[in-house]
């Protein structure tokens, strides 16, 4: 029966493939990024992220200090394991560019707790997490073993220079294990004892006020998250009492893996949640489309079904016949959708901007859970679109059916009510998606137009990692001074400055508990502020206005009195209108004198308010290797100049990726970009399916109303009248769908409220644009059937 109607079968299978394939693809992303993001890791259902909190601060430092982490590990009894993990990296010079190698600083139990057994060598031993840079050993990934070492079977015992120090390779992880940081495939792991070597902010293993651990825990079997949270919170409260100087106001919180705050899981959660809702809409539209097609086909098969009943076929057998045809179509669609999902499982990173010139590692996971869900959707789709025609077939009145004649465009409305209702549902769902896409597009445009607090035009950012080449701190500073002088003397370069962290770049600002002279904090309040370090000329290179005081100079070095510049927000909050120049505050047990107040600027996101922060001279801090360049040259031209000047100083060094500040800022809106792309793609598919559904209904209406059309033409109706008659019916269905969709949109747009920036969920421009797009699609879908109606031969129609 399906072979006899190949175009019908093909169209139905395509519609189902789009709906089920899109849903399966998104489920594979959710499975691979949020629910079970770590391939080959055991007990992910009992694994949770461990993050620090700060009382009274919405966006505190999510990291935990190593001394606190050890106390949690020693004192908590409801946990099977505590795992320390911190993303890090090193830079290797390859030809005329620098290649980043991403890795992790981990606790010694890392591989054992995760159930990951190295295929060569071993993991880390307990004693290797003790000492200061005392154990230069590394475990490398399978991918690094194959690409860098050509799969050498004798790799164990060989050395690799990481951050300028020879590390002995002691193990190789199994294929498929990429670490525990969503978005990055780790290439190496080192024990936590090597923290200082890979962290330019200094030694932290004995400093409770220096959080850097991004931790995980594995609960014991039978322990609930609430029980675990209660126990670890009680330990955090005890530490707050015992160590008030560092822990006052500090807490700890456990998160499910899909809400992990320190990697891309938490960042992508809103976008993937929207994607899930969108593909469910697409699936519903696809099912409604196929249901309409089957109803049309069943109407066309009325004579066949009547004959079957007349010669003794039971009504139950008739229902089974139609359901079987639906199952066969679904089976074909399921096979095609799995192929589509397999193609799409690795497309998610393409929707995100590059990071350090590299695509994020976010593969989908088509495991048995996704396959079961896909099978469930296929079965549900069959029941959803197959049962309606089947039950309509059960209600056939044999006598009436044998006498039935064609209806008309108007007179047949009662019998086409259900089909029209399905079109209304499709249009309303498409309208919701169109409005959502419009809101997010406007929000993204608003974000891009928002001011970061400095002019981004003509600013380039890059970095030069010198530690892997064996540079110590004095040599790094000498190199930076010489390169700065060379670049400032170059034509086209207006200002250059090194900084510890470029605004809007990946990575956290350093933070420190502070005590402000003359400011009385609340008894349970811990003042913790972000800070960074930059060289003289940074404010000029960034175009940031100095409100009062002075900028840093070369005289602000390691032998000079400690000084700081504060932003306007810090000055207003802690000095409350008084001039802070000359005042002091203490950070990390060091007193600093304020020498300047700078205009505040945004650091992490254009949607967040500017927070109180302070800044210290690069030479009085731990150093920084990022570079800000104010220039009239393009990024490509500047890259050549920069490489030439670096190589003239040291041929073994090379810069990392050089990009514009605008690109740097745009990368912080990746969640909105993903949501916009998904709504645009899936919304377009939904609109196409809705247009196909509307076209199908109107085509069937015209074909069933052939006799009425012929009669109207015989009585003198003009072609324009027939076109208006048909199109009015189609546009009426569209208008009803828009009304229903508008009501639904008011409630459903709250789902994307967290991604909106200065855009109302009821923005009239978005509603108007969605209405215009739908009307255009409806006109296109209705015009061809209307034009076909005008080609009706009155004589032939009346004779039939």
- Four-point Cα dihedral 650, 626, 477, 511, nearest 10: -150
Q: CA separation (Å) from 324 to 2, 302, 329?
A: 11, 18, 9
- Residue 101 dihedral angles phi and psi, to the nearest 5°: -115, 115
Rounded distance, CA 126 to CA 133, Å? 15
Q: Which residue has the higher pLDDT, 782 or 82?
A: 82
List all residues 6 or more positions away from 65 whose beta carbon is below 8 Å from its beta carbon.
52, 204, 207, 208, 209, 210, 211, 212, 213, 246
Residue 723 structure tokens = 């076109």
Per-residue pLDDT band for 80 (boundaries 50, 70, 90) equals very high
Question: What is the enclosing helix (H) or strand (E) of 654?
Answer: none
Q: Which pLDDT value is given to residue 385?
A: 67
> Where does 550-642 show beta strands of DSSP type E?
563-567, 584-587, 590-598, 613-617, 626-631
Is pLDDT above 50 for 406? no
Return the structure tokens found at 443: 């929000």
| Tokens coding 252 | 């700890």
Write phi, then psi, for 772 (nearest 5 degrees).
Answer: -65, -45
| pLDDT at site 407 | 42
**pLDDT band for position 703 (50/70/90)?**
low
Q: C-alpha 511: how far from its chain's center?
A: 26
Query: Does the pLDDT value for residue 580 go beyond 80?
Result: yes
**Given phi > 0 = left and psi -120 to 50 = alpha, else beta, which region is 418?**
alpha
- DSSP letter (8 states) at residue 476: H
Which residues 6+ apart lie within 8 Å of 317 measured at CB? none
Mean pLDDT on 749-772 = 82
Please say if the pLDDT value at position 792 is more than 80: no
β partners of residue 82: 217
Tokens 């989908």 correspond to 364
For residues 603, 606, 612 and 613, what is the CA-based torsion angle, rounded to 10 degrees? 10
- Whole-number pLDDT of residue 797: 55
* Lowest-confidence segment of 56-65, 264-273, 368-377 by average pLDDT: 56-65
The DSSP annotation for 352-398 comes to: S--BTTB--B------HHHHHHHHHHHHHHHHHHHHHHHHHHHT--H
Distances 326 to 12, 21, 330 between C-alpha atoms, Å: 10, 17, 6
pLDDT-derived band of residue 630, with 50, 70 and 90 as boundaries? very high
Of 198, 9, 188, the C-alpha closest to 101 is 188
**Whole-number pLDDT of residue 60:** 55
Contact 373, 27 (CB under 8 A): yes
4/750 Cα distance (integer angstroms): 47
Kindly state the tokens that stand for 193.
């004892």
Q: What is the average per-residue pLDDT within 238-243?
A: 92
Residue 531: which H helix or E strand, with range? strand 528-534
Quickly list H helices, 171-260: 195-198, 225-242, 244-247
User: Is residue 652's pLDDT more than 80?
Assistant: no
What distances in angstroms separate CA 133 from CA 70, 71, 107, 110, 203, one per listed residue? 18, 22, 14, 18, 9
Residue 138: what pLDDT?
Answer: 94
Mean pLDDT for the stretch of residues 91-96: 55
Supply the pLDDT for residue 56.
66
Weakest-pLDDT range from 55-59, 102-106, 195-199, 600-604: 55-59
DSSP 410-470: TTTTTTTHHHHHHHHHHHHHHHHHHHHHHHHHHHHHHHHHS--SS--TTEEEEE---GGGT
Asked if pLDDT for residue 34 goes beyond 80, the answer is: yes
Please check the confidence at residue 18 and state whether its pLDDT lies above 70: yes
What secondary structure, in 3-state letters, does 315-365 show?
HHHHHHHHHHHHHHHHHHHHHHHHHHHHHHCCCHHHHCCCECCECCECCCC
Name the percent of the chain lying above pLDDT 70. 87
In the predicted structure, residue 724 carries a pLDDT above the cut 60: yes
Number of residues written out for the chain: 800
104 and 181 in contact (C-beta within 8 Å)? yes
CA distance 515 to 527: 7
Higher pLDDT, 302 or 463: 463
Q: Which of 45-59, 499-513, 779-793 has the highest mean pLDDT?
A: 45-59
Q: How much is the CA Rg of the chain, to the nearest whole Å? A: 33
Could you tell me which of 488, 504, 570, 491 has the C-alpha nearest to residue 537? 488
- In the block, tokens 């699609």 appear at 777
Beta-carbon count within 10 A of 724 CB? 12
Give me the mean pLDDT over the 386-391 stretch: 64
Confidence of residue 59 (pLDDT cuts 50, 70, 90): low
The residue-averaged pLDDT of 262-290 equals 83
* Across 31-40, 59-68, 638-647, least confident range: 59-68
Place of tokens 């840093």: 552
The DSSP symbol for 179 reads: -
How many CB atoms sit inside 10 A of residue 511's CB? Answer: 20
Structure tokens at 6: 């190949």
Range with the poorest average pLDDT among 173-177, 412-416, 518-522, 544-548:
412-416
In terms of phi and psi (left: phi > 0; alpha: psi -120 to 50; beta: otherwise), the region of 470 is: left
Q: What is the mean pLDDT of the chain?
A: 83
Q: Tell which wins on pLDDT, 604 or 458.
A: 458
What pLDDT, on a 0 to 100 scale, did the predictor assign at position 125? 94
Which has more confidence, 560 or 347?
Answer: 560
Render 48-98 in DSSP notation, one character per residue. EEEEEEETT-SS----B-HHHHHHHHHH-SSEEEEEEEEEEEEEEEETTEE
**Nearest one of 34, 350, 342 to 182, comparing CA atoms:** 34
């Amino acid at each position: 029966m399906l072979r006899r109607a190949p175009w019908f079968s093909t169209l139905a299978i395509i519609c189902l493939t789009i709906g089920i394939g899109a849903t399966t693809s998104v489920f594979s992303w959710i499975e691979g990024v949020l629910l079970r993001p770590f391939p080959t890791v055991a007990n992910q259902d009992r694994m949770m992220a461990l993050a620090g909190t700060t009382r009274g601060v919405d966006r505190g430092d999510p990291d935990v200090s190593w001394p606190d982490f050890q106390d949690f590990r020693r004192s908590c009894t409801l946990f099977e394991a505590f795992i320390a993990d911190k993303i890090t990296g090193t830079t290797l010079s390859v030809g005329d560019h620098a290649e980043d190698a991403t890795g992790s600083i981990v606790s010694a139990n890392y591989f054992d707790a995760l159930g990951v057994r190295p295929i060569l060598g071993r993991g880390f031993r307990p004693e290797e997490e003790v000492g200061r840079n005392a154990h230069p050993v590394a475990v490398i990934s399978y991918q690094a073993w194959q690409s860098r070492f050509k799969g050498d079977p004798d790799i164990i015992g060989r050395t690799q220079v990481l951050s300028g120090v020879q590390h002995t390779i002691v193990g190789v992880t199994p294929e498929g294990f990429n670490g525990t940081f969503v978005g990055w495939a780790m290439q190496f792991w080192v024990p936590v004892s090597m923290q200082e070597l890979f962290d330019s902010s200094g030694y932290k293993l004995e400093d409770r006020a220096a959080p850097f651990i991004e931790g995980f825990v594995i609960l014991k079997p039978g322990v609930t998250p609430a029980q675990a949270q209660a126990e670890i919170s009680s330990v955090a409260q005890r530490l707050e009492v015992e160590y008030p100087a560092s822990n006052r106001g500090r807490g700890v919180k456990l998160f499910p893996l899909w809400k992990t705050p320190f990697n891309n899981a938490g960042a992508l959660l809103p976008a993937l949640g929207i994607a899930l809702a969108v593909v469910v809409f697409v699936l519903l539209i696809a099912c409604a489309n196929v249901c309409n097609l089957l109803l049309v086909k069943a109407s066309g098969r009325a004579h066949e079904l009547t004959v079957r009943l007349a010669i003794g076929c039971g009504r139950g057998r008739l229902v089974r016949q139609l359901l079987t045809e639906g199952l066969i179509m679904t089976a074909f669609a399921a096979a095609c959708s799995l192929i589509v999902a397999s193609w799409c499982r690795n497309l998610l990173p393409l929707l995100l901007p590059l990071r350090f010139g590299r695509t994020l590692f976010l593969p989908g996971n088509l495991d048995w859970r996704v396959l079961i869900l896909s099978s469930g959707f296929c079965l549900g789709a069959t029941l959803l679109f197959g049962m309606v025609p089947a039950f309509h077939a059960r209600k056939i009145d044999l006598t009436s059916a044998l006498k039935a004649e064609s209806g008309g465009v108007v007179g047949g409305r009662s019998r086409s009510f259900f089909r029209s209702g399905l079109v209304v549902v499709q249009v309303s769902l498409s309208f919701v998606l169109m409005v959502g896409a419009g809101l997010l597009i406007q929000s993204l445009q608003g974000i891009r137009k928002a001011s970061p607090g400095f002019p981004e035009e003509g600013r380039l950012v890059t970095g030069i990692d010198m530690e892997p080449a064996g540079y110590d701190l004095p040599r790094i500073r000498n190199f930076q001074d010489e390169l700065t002088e060379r670049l400032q003397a170059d034509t086209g370069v207006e200002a250059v400055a090194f900084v510890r962290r470029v605004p809007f770049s990946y990575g956290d600002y350093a933070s420190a508990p502070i005590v402000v002279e003359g400011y009385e904090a609340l008894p349970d309040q811990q003042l913790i502020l972000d800070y960074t370090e930059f060289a003289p000329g940074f404010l000029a290179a960034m175009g940031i206005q100095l409100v009062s005081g002075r900028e840093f100079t070369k005289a602000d070095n390691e032998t000079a009195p400690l000084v700081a510049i504060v932003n306007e927000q810090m000055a207003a909050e802690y000095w409350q209108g008084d001039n802070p120049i000359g005042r002091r505050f203490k950070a990390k047990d060091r007193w600093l004198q304020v020498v300047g107040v700078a205009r505040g600027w945004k650091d992490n996101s254009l949607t967040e308010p500017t927070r109180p922060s302070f800044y210290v001279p690069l030479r009085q801090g731990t150093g920084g290797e990022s570079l800000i360049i104010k220039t009239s040259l393009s990024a490509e031209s500047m890259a050549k100049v920069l490489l030439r000047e670096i190589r003239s100083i040291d041929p073994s060094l090379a810069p990392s990726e050089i990009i514009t500040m605008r690109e740097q800022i745009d990368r912080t809106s990746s969640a909105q970009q993903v949501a916009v792309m998904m709504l645009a793609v899936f919304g377009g598919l939904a609109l196409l399916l809705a247009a196909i559904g509307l076209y199908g209904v109107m085509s069937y209406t015209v074909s069933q109303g052939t006799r009425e059309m012929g009669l109207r033409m015989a009585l003198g109706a003009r072609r324009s009248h027939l076109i208006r008659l048909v199109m009015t019916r189609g546009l009426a269905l569209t208008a009803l769908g828009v009304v229903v969709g508008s009501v639904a949109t008011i409630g459903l747009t709250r789902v994307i409220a967290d991604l909106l920036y200065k855009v109302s969920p009821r923005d009239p421009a978005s509603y108007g644009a969605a209405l215009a797009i739908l009307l255009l699609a409806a006109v296109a879908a209705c015009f061809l059937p209307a034009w076909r109606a005008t080609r009706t031969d009155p004589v032939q129609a009346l004779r039939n």
